[in-house]
Structure formats: C-alpha cells, structure tokens
Structure 1
Amino acid sequence: MKKRPEVTAQTRQNLIDSFWSLYCEKRVEKITVKEITQKAGYNRGTFYEYFTDIYDVLEQLEASLIPSLDELPQFTIQNQTMGMPLDMLMKIYEKNSKYYSVLLGDNGDPAFASKLKNSIKPILKKELLKYSKLSPIEFDFLLEYILSAMIGIMSYWFRNDKELSAEDLITLIQDLMTNGVTDRLLK
C-alpha cells in the first residue's frame, strides 16, 4: 500500500519539529534519534525513512531556510549610490527568525552563517560590482565583511529581544557602513 503524500510530509515535518525543539535546548551532537522519535511519537525505522542521521535533519532544515536566488527580492542602486539592501536582509531574517536566532546563536551551527551569506552574495555581487572600482578580489573581501557584520548585528538584535526598533537598527547599520565604526564611536 502506497503512503499518501500529505501523511508522508506531515510525518517528516513532525520529526523535524521534534528535532528542532531538542536543538533549541542542546547542541546537535547531544541529540539522539531515540529522543526525536519518542518526542514525535514514531519508531526509529520511521526516522530512517526520511533522514540518514541527526546531521541530515539539521542539513535539510537549514537548506529549507536558505533563500534561493529566485526567492531573494531584486534591488537596484539608484544614482549609483552604493549601499546594502538592508530591508531585504531584514525581511529574510524576520521570516525565519525562529530558526535564525538559534542557528546563528552561540549554540547554533557555525556553518549556517556561511551558507546564508553564500545564498545572498551572488545577487548583491551582480548589482554592486557594476559600481565598484575595487578589484574583484578586494570586492569579495569587502562583501564578505559587510555581510558578516550585517548577519552578526541582526543575530545580536534578535538575541537581545529587538531592543532597537527595526528602523533604528537599519539606521545604525547604514550609519556604520557610511561613516565607519570610529566616527560612530566618537560622536
């Protein structure tokens, strides 16, 4: 007898949800298949129908949270003023904040930030490189720095219960990018 797709999808999602609730409490290497299946109400065999191991669950979950190029909103730079589309990154972050705040947090997956940056980089590179006078190598380093800073500051913002409004956070990031850290510190 063939399983119904909606039941299969729900079973898979239940296992992911059980994994996620455990992952929010402890590091991935401390989670067992037994814990996930008990929490979800399935047996170990069911788990292995969908995943090869605990790390596969994490990998599939992360893959579902990384925006593809066609999911990223397009942006253009008007009047050749170079800047970052902060609202684009903020929307992506807000949409997945439940996951991003944990995955990018202290007990999260260190590789996730790189995966996120690598998904966003091509669209930014395509648009911003047109206006840059930097060599491609220097540009890559600058883009890495900017994306790392943006992801880091947004992670910090979520961990601190959004103490600043989203508008104030965007203003702060834009000011830091325009004037630099030293100018901001000495104001």
Structure 2
Amino acid sequence: MSSEYKNKRKTHTNKYITEAFWQLYAQKAIAQITVRELTQRAGVNRSTFYSHYLDMYDLLAKAEDALLEELGQLLDYQNQEQDPDSPLETIIDYYRRNIDKLSMLLGPTGDPAFASKVMERFIPVIMDHLGIDLNNEEAYCLLSFLVSGVLTYLAGWYHREKLFPPLENIHSVRRALIGGFESALSEHSADTERLFRFIHFDV
C-alpha cells in the first residue's frame, strides 16, 4: 500500500469523523457525545477513532484549529497583498460561510476557550494591518473587545433564531463601531486610511 494511498485514506477518514462530530455537536454538548455514537455515525470503528484522536476533546481542538487555520490564511494573504479592505469584512464573510460551526463554538454549549484562540491568532494580524505597534496593550485590548463583541453579537443572532435579516445584522455592528471605536483607535493607528476602511467596512 503506497504512502499516497494511506494519506488519502487518512484524509477521508478524518473527514467522515469530523463531519459526524459537527452533526452531533449541533445536537448536544461535547461532554454528552460518546465515541460509540460518533463512530457509528461516521462509519468507522473505535480503534480507527483512537488512531487519529486522543479523545473527543482532542477532536474538538483539531476541528477548531482547522477553522482558525483557514481564516488565518485568508487574513495573512490580505496582509501580504497589501489589501486595503477591512479585515472585519474577511472575518464576517468567513463567519457567514461557516456560521453553523462558529456559532456552535461561540454559543452557550460551545467551547469557552475558542474565543480566546480567535483573539490570540487574529488581533496581532489586525494590529499589523492598521499599523499599530504590536506591543501597544491599550490598542490590543480595544481590538479584543471589538472583535469579541462582533463574534458574540453574531452568535447571539444565530441562537436567537435569526430574528432579523443577516445584512441588517451586519449594519447594526457597523453603526456600533462608528459610534466609538474609530475615535478610540485613531490615536494608536499609523494608517488612518486603513483604520477608516476597517471601521467603515462594506458588505
């Protein structure tokens, strides 16, 4: 059996397990998901599961890392290409495309540590985009508050059964940002044009 075939088989197995995990995670908290029901849904045996993951929490961590890695690549590419558009546009667009998974992680039965992972991974990217010194603790805290608030807002909208249209939802976020964060961040940013685009993002 060639190594290429083994890698493809491993990739497909991971995909089946991960898809089964998200289906179950949509129905119950991770502590209530058993390896037995997951492997039955995924069509694999227990030994196969344990050859890929230590336990259910290891599976959760790797599923989260895969989501963060994909968004990180989008933001890194945006910075490398000197794209002047707001990183918030990228984050919100990515959220909309992965709304079920991200809302589960940020919701009441989700992973409390996931929001911290988001902050640690992306706040430095946004600071670099805005020309803010990475050692500027005040700006870091402001941006953490901002991004955390946006994600929490979107998760709340999702879990409250989407009581108003998503585009109206995004415009509400933008109005809140223009109301105060633009002024608060202006003294820290070395690129006022990018700061303007960051706050006044388009959708």
TM-score normalised by the chain length of structure 2: 0.74
Higher helix proportion (structure 1 or 2):
2
Compare relative contact order (CA 8 Å, sep 6+) and give the higher one, 1 or 2: 2
Q: CA RMSD in A?
A: 2.4
Matching residue of 1:38: 40
Return the offset for 1:39.
Answer: 1.9
Q: Deviations over 1:131-184 (max 9, x none)?
A: x9xx81211111111111111111122223261342x33322222122249xxx
Tell me whether 49-58 or 14-23 shows the greater mean CA deviation.
14-23
Work out which of the residue numbers 23, 26, 47 in structure 2 matches 1:24: 26
Distance 1:19 1:170 in 2: 29
Name the SS of the counterpart of 2:165 in structure 1. coil
TM-score normalised by the chain length of structure 1: 0.79
Work out which of the residue numbers 99, 102, 110 in structure 1 matches 2:101: 99
Matching residue of 2:164: 163
- Cα distance 1:41–1:85, how it changes in 2: closer, same or farther (>3 A)? closer
Q: 1:86·1:170 contact (CA, 8 Å) conserved in 2?
A: no
Distance 2:154 2:20 in 1: 26
1:1-187 matches, cutoff 5 A: 1=1, 4-67=6-69, 69-72=72-75, 73-74=78-79, 75-76=83-84, 85-130=87-132, 136-159=136-159, 160-161=161-162, 163-166=164-167, 168-180=168-180
Aligned residues: 171
Q: 1:62·1:112 contact (CA, 8 Å) conserved in 2?
A: yes
